[in-house]
C-alpha cells in the first residue's frame, strides 16, 4: 500500500512563475460561499425583523462585535470585520476537507500569509504606541546581549501561529490517510483470501473503512479546526491588544 | 518542477501563494464589511433611531397631554369664574330690577293713594260745601220754623253765618 | 550503503523528534487538571475557564507541533534532499 503525502495539486500555470493550486481554488470557493451566504442573509433587511434570516444575520454581527470588543476593548471595534473574516475563512477552509477536498489551511503558504498580517499589525501597533526608539529599546531588554533572542522572539510569534494551524490540519489529514491505508490493508488481509468474486469484491470495496474514519474526521475536521480557527483569531486579538498597550 | 498536474511538496513556501492568501483574506474582509456588517449595522442604527423617535414621540405626546390638561383646567376655572360672575351679575341685575319694580310699584301706590286722598279731600270739601249750603238753608228753614218770623233773614243773617262758619270749622 | 545510512538517520531522527510530544502531553494534562479544580471551585466561571484552558492547551501544543513538523520534514523532504547530493 502506497501512502503519498503531498501538498496541493497545481492546476494552472500563469506567467512569472505564478501557479494556481488547489489551495487557491478551494479558498476562492470558500470565499464565494461565504459571500453568497452574507448576501443571502442580508438581502432584504427590515427595521422590524420578520424573517429568521435577518435574526441570524444580526446575531452573527452582534456576536462578532461582542467577541472583539470583549477581548480587545471598544478602541479596536473596527477590527471586527477582519476577525470575522479570519475566523470564517479559517473555519471554511478546514471544513472543506469534510467534502473530500484539499483543505487550504493544510498549505503552509496560507497560514503563513495570515500570520504575516498579524505580524504586520503587531509591529505597526508597537511602533505606534512606543515609537521607533521605544520599539528598538524594547528589543534590548533586559540587557543588550539579549537582543538577538528578542528579535527571534518577535519573529517566532507569527511563525508559531502559522505552524500551529498548519500542523494541526496536516497532522489530522496525515493520520486520516494512515488510518485509511491501514484499514484498507486490514480489509484485504481479513477478506482478501476469500475465493472467487468475494475476495475481489472485498478488495474493491473496503467495508472496514466505513466507521473509524468518520470518528477521526469528527475530531480532526470539526473539533480541531474550530478550536484552531478560534485560537488563531484569539491570539491575533490578544497580540494586537498587548502590542497597543503602553508599557 | 512547478508544472500543472504535479503536486507541491508538503512543506513548500511560495511567495506568490503567500501573497494570494493575504489578498484572499483582505478581499474577504471587504466582502464581509460590505455585505454583512454594513447592512446589519445600518439596520441596527435605523432601529435605534426609530426606538428613540418612538420614545421622543411618547414624551412629546405626554407633555402635550399635560399641557392640554393644564389648558382645560384653566379653561374650566375660567368658565367657573365666568359663571360665578354671570350669576353675580344676573342676581345683581335681578336685585336691581326687583328694587326698581318694587319702588315703581310703591311710587304708583303712593301716587294712587295720593290721588285717592285728593279725591277724598275734594269730595270732603265738596260735601262740606254742599252740607254747609244745605245746613245753612236747613238752619234757616229750621230757624224760620222755630222762631216763625221772629227772625228776620236780613237782620239775623250775620248771626246765622257765624253759626254756620262755626259748624263748618268744626267739620 | 550511504543511501541506507541516510534513510536510517532520517527515520531515527523522525522517531526521536516525536519525543517532543511528551512536553505538551504533561503540560496539557496539568492545565486540564487545574482547570477541573477551578471549575469545581467556581462552577459559575465554567465557560471562561474552559476558554482559557483551551487557549493554553493550544499554545502548549506548539512545541509538540514543532516536533511533528520536524518529523515530517525528516521523513518527506530530508531523504530527497540528502540523496540528491550523493
- Shortest Cα distance, chain A CAs vs residue B49, angstroms: 10
List the chains bordering chain C where 3 or more Cβ pairs fall under 8 Å. Answer: A, B
Contacts of A146 (CB under 8 A, 6+ apart): A140
- What beta strand segments (E) does C1-86 contain? none
Residue B99 burial (C-beta neighbours within 10 Å; 0-12, 13-18, 19+): exposed
Residue C71 domain flag: yes
Is A181 or B111 the better-scoring residue by pLDDT? B111
Closest by Cα among A35, A41, A63, A36 to A53: A41
Q: Which residues of B touch C (CB under 8 A)?
A: 9-11
Touching A: B residues 29-58, CB under 8 Å: 29, 31-33, 35-37, 39-44, 46-47, 50
Q: Is A175 on the interface with C (CB under 8 A)?
A: no
Chain A contact probe: residue of C14, C65, C67, C68 with most A CBs at under 10 A: C65
A-to-B residue pairs, Cβ atoms closer than 8 angstroms: 144
DSSP chain A: -------PBEEEE-GGG-EEEHHHHHHHHHHHHHHHHHHHHTTT--SS--SHHHHHHHHHHHHHHHHHHHHH-GGGGGGHHHHHHHHHHHHHHHHGGGGTSPPGGGSHHHHHHHHHHHHHHHHHHHHHHHHHHHHHHHHT-S-GGGHHHHHHHHHHHHHHHHHHHHHHHHHHHHHHHHHHHHHHHHHHHHHTTS-THHHHHHHHS-GGGTTHHHHHHIIIIIIHHHHHHHHHHHHHHHHHHHHHS--
Q: What is the reported pTM?
A: 0.70
Q: Is A7 on the interface with C (CB under 8 A)?
A: no
Question: What's the domain range around A191?
Answer: 10-243
Residue A162 domain flag: yes
Is C14 or A221 the better-scoring residue by pLDDT? C14
Residue C53 domain flag: yes
Q: Domain limits of chain B?
A: 13-170
Note whether C54 contacts A167, CB cutoff 8 Å: no
Nearest residue on chain A to C75, alpha-carbon basis:
A5
B19-43 per-residue burial string, b: 16 or more CB within 10 A, e: under 16? ebbbebbeebbebbbebbbebbbeb
Residue C30 domain flag: yes
Chain B contact probe: residue of C17, C71, C77 with most B CBs at under 10 A: C77
Q: Is A229 on the interface with C (CB under 8 A)?
A: no
Note whether A113 contacts B20, CB cutoff 8 Å: yes
CB-closest option in C54, C62, C72 to A164? C62
| Secondary structure of residue B131 in the 3-state scheme | helix
Q: If pLDDT is split at 50, 70 and 90, which confidence band does B60 have? A: very high
Question: What's the domain range around C64?
Answer: 18-85
| Tally of CB atoms within 10 A around A26 | 23
| Secondary structure of residue B42 in the 3-state scheme | helix
CB-closest option in B4, B39, B40 to A11? B4
Q: How far is CA B17 from the centre of its chain?
A: 95
How many angstroms separate the Cα of B170 from the Cα of each of B119, B120, B127, B165, B166?
A: 21, 18, 14, 8, 6
Residue C11 domain flag: no
Residue carrying the nine cell digits 369664574: B81
**Rounded distance, CA C75 to CA C73, Å?**
5
Q: Is C75 on the interface with B (CB under 8 A)?
A: no
* Average pLDDT taken over every residue of chain B: 82
Nearest residue on chain C to A168, alpha-carbon basis:
C65
CATH of the domain at C51: 1.20.20.10
From chain A, the residues in CB contact with B7 under 8 A are 6-10
Note whether B32 contacts A61, CB cutoff 8 Å: no
Torsion of CA A87, A91, A93, A98, to 10 degrees: 180
Contact A238, A69 (CB under 8 A): no
Residue A1 domain flag: no
* DSSP secondary structure code for residue B12 in this structure: -
How many angstroms separate the Cα of A22 from the Cα of each of A93, A239, C42, C49?
A: 11, 31, 47, 39
- Give tens-digit pLDDT for B67-79: 999 999 999 999 9
Residue C59 domain flag: yes
**Rounded distance, CA A60 to CA B32, Å?**
11
* pLDDT for B1: 44
Q: How many structural domains does chain C have?
A: 1
* pLDDT for B153: 61
Closest by Cα among B27, C81, B72 to A88: B27
- Give tens-digit pLDDT for C17-66: 988 889 999 999 999 999 999 999 999 988 888 888 888 887 888 888 88
Chain C contact probe: residue of A234, A235, A238, A242 with most C CBs at under 10 A: A234
**Rounded distance, CA A75 to CA A73, Å?**
5
Element (H, E) at B164: helix B153-170
Per-residue pLDDT of chain A in tens (247 residues, 90 and over written 9): 566 677 777 777 777 777 788 888 888 888 889 888 888 887 777 777 777 888 888 888 888 888 888 888 788 778 888 888 888 888 888 888 888 778 888 888 888 898 899 899 888 888 888 888 877 877 777 777 888 888 888 888 888 888 888 888 888 888 888 888 888 788 777 776 777 666 666 666 667 677 777 787 788 778 888 888 888 888 888 888 888 876 5
Q: Is B158 on the interface with A (CB under 8 A)?
A: no
Q: Is A228 on the interface with C (CB under 8 A)?
A: yes
**Cis amide prior to A142 (ω within 30 degrees):** yes
**Rounded distance, CA C58 to CA A227, Å?**
8
Kindly state the cell numbers that stand for B79: 368658565
Q: Please give, one letter per residue, the 3-state secondary structure of A204-224.
A: HCCHHHCCHHHHHHHHHHHHH
Contact A89, A77 (CB under 8 A): no
**Rounded distance, CA A10 to CA A70, Å?**
42
Residue A159 burial (C-beta neighbours within 10 Å; 0-12, 13-18, 19+): middle
**Rounded distance, CA A103 to CA A90, Å?**
10
Q: How far is CA B67 from the centre of its chain?
A: 24
Mean pLDDT along residues B156-163: 73
* pLDDT for B61: 93
Residue carrying the nine cell digits 491501514: A182
CA angle B90, B94, B99 (to 5 degrees): 150
Residue C45 domain flag: yes
Residue carrying the nine cell digits 469545581: C40
Closest by Cα among A98, A104, A243 to A176: A98
- Shortest Cα distance, chain B CAs vs residue A199, angstroms: 33
Contact B25, A85 (CB under 8 A): yes
**Rounded distance, CA B110 to CA B88, Å?**
32
Amino acid at each position: 500500500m502506497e501512502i503519498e503525502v503531498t501538498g496541493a495539486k497545481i492546476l494552472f500555470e500563469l506567467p512569472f512563475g505564478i501557479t494556481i493550486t488547489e489551495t487557491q481554488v478551494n479558498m476562492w470557493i470558500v470565499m464565494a460561499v461565504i459571500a453568497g451566504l452574507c448576501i443571502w442573509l442580508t438581502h432584504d433587511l427590515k427595521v422590524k425583523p420578520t424573517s429568521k434570516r435577518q435574526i441570524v444575520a444580526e446575531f452573527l454581527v452582534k456576536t462578532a462585535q461582542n467577541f472583539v470588543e470583549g477581548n480587545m476593548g471598544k478602541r479596536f471595534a473596527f477590527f471586527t470585520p477582519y476577525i470575522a473574516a479570519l475566523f470564517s475563512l479559517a473555519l471554511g477552509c478546514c471544513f472543506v476537507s469534510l467534502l473530500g477536498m484539499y483543505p487550504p489551511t493544510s498549505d503552509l503558504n496560507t497560514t503563513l500569509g495570515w500570520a504575516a498580517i498579524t505580524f504586520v499589525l503587531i509591529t505597526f501597533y508597537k511602533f505606534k504606541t512606543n515609537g521607533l526608539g521605544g520599539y528598538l529599546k524594547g528589543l534590548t531588554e533586559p540587557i543588550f546581549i539579549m537582543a538577538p533572542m528578542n528579535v527571534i522572539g518577535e519573529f517566532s510569534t507569527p511563525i508559531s501561529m502559522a505552524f500551529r494551524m498548519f500542523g494541526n490540519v496536516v497532522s489530522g489529514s496525515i493520520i486520516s490517510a494512515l488510518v485509511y491505508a491501514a484499514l484498507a490493508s486490514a480489509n484485504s488481509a481479513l477478506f482478501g483470501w476469500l475465493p472467487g468474486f468475494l475476495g475481489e469484491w472485498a478488495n474493491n470495496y473496503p467495508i472496514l473503512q466505513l466507521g473509524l474514519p468518520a470518528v477521526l474526521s469528527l475530531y480532526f475536521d470539526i473539533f480541531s479546526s474550530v478550536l484552531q480557527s478560534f485560537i488563531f483569531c484569539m491570539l491575533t486579538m490578544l497580540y494586537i491588544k498587548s502590542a497597543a498597550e503602553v508599557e | 518542477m512547478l508544472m500543472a498536474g504535479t503536486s507541491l511538496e508538503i512543506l513548500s513556501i511560495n511567495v506568490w501563494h503567500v501573497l494570494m492568501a493575504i489578498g484572499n483574506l483582505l478581499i474577504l474582509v471587504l466582502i464581509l464589511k460590505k455585505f454583512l456588517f454594513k447592512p446589519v449595522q445600518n439596520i441596527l442604527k435605523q432601529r435605534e433611531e426609530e426606538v428613540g423617535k418612538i420614545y421622543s414621540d411618547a414624551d412629546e405626546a405626554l407633555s402635550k397631554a399635560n399641557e392640554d390638561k393644564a389648558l382645560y383646567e384653566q379653561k374650566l376655572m375660567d368658565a367657573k369664574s365666568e359663571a360665578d360672575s354671570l350669576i353675580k351679575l344676573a342676581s345683581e341685575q335681578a336685585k336691581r330690577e326687583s328694587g326698581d319694580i318694587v319702588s315703581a310699584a310703591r311710587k304708583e301706590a303712593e301716587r294712587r293713594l295720593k290721588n285717592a286722598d285728593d279725591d277724598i279731600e275734594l269730595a270732603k270739601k265738596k260735601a262740606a260745601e254742599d252740607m254747609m249750603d244745605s245746613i245753612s238753608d236747613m238752619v234757616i228753614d229750621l230757624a224760620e220754623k222755630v222762631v216763625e218770623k221772629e227772625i228776620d233773614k236780613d237782620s239775623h243773617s250775620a248771626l246765622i253765618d257765624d253759626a254756620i262758619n262755626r259748624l263748618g270749622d268744626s267739620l | 550503503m550511504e543511501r541506507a545510512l541516510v534513510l536510517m538517520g532520517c527515520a531515527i531522527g523522525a522517531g526521536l523528534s516525536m519525543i517532543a510530544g511528551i512536553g505538551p502531553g504533561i503540560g496539557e494534562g496539568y492545565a486540564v487538571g487545574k482547570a477541573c479544580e477551578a471549575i469545581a471551585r467556581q462552577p459559575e466561571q465554567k465557560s471562561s475557564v474552559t476558554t482559557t484552558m483551551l487557549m493554553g492547551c493550544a499554545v502548549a501544543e506548539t512545541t509538540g507541533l514543532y516536533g511533528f513538523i520536524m518529523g515530517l520534514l525528516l521523513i518527506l523532504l530530508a531523504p530527497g534532499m540528502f540523496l540528491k547530493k550523493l
